[in-house]
């Protein structure tokens, strides 16, 4: 069974630009979570999508947004990039049978210059 996949693996942007990150959940999983892992700040919950809808968001500004497509894959968009947005962005998915258990992808490393 293929795991959670994310693309691209690395992304370099300049301040003020927009970044788009992509995630495909494990086959059969309908929920996608996004987390930010910034140096010194640990892993922080960003967004949760389930059945195409945003269900919950963490303590992040509105310039962090996303969507979930009918095939349950997801995009995370970060607008007006700031230097502090440099981080590893992780996507996780869970199954209907065990909603609490999340499996992570390898992440996208975003560098804002």
Partner 1 sequence: GENVEQHPSTLSVQEGDSAVIKCTYSDSASNYFPWYKQELGKGPQLIIDIRSNVGEKKDQRIAVTLNKTAKHFSLHITETQPEDSAVYFCAASQPNSGYALNFGKGTSLLVTP
* Residue 1 · residue 95 · CB < 8 Å: no
Could you say whether residue 18 binds partner 1 (CB under 8 A)?
no
* 35 membership: H or E segment, kind and range: strand 31-38
Asked whether 90 and 22 are in contact (CB, 8 A), the reply is: no
Q: Does 44 participate in binding partner 1 (rule CB under 8 A)?
A: yes
Based on the shown chain and the rule CB under 8 A, indicate whether residue 4 belongs to the binding site for partner 1: yes
Verify binding: residue 65, partner 1, rule CB under 8 A: no
How many Å is the Cα radius of gyration of the chain? Answer: 13
Q: Name the minimum Å distance from CB 16 to partner 1.
A: 28
| 35 binding partner 1? (CB under 8 A) | yes
Taking CB under 8 A as the binding criterion, the range among 13-21, 66-74, 76-84, 91-99 that sits at the site for partner 1 is 91-99
In eight-state DSSP terms, residue 2 is -
Residue 58 touching partner 1 (CB under 8 A): yes
Among 8, 12, 27, 43, binds partner 1 (CB under 8 A): 43
Torsion of CA 32, 35, 48, 100, to 10 degrees: 70
Asked if 80 contacts 99 with a C-beta cutoff of 8 angstroms, the reply is no
Binding site for partner 1 (CB under 8 A): 4, 31, 33, 35, 42-45, 48, 50, 55-56, 58, 90, 92, 94, 99-107
């Amino acid at each position: 069974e293929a795991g959670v996949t994310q693309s691209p693996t690395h992304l370099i942007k300049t301040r003020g630009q927009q970044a788009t990150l992509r995630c495909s959940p494990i086959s059969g999983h309908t929920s996608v979570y996004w987390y930010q892992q910034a140096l010194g700040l640990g892993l922080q919950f960003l967004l949760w999508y389930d059945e195409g809808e945003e269900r919950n968001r963490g303590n992040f500004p509105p310039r962090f947004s996303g969507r979930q497509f009918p095939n349950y894959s997801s995009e995370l968009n970060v607008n007006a990039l700031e230097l502090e947005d440099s981080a590893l962005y992780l996507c996780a998915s869970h199954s209907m049978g065990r909603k609490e258990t999340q499996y992570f992808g390898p992440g996208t490393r975003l560098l804002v210059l």
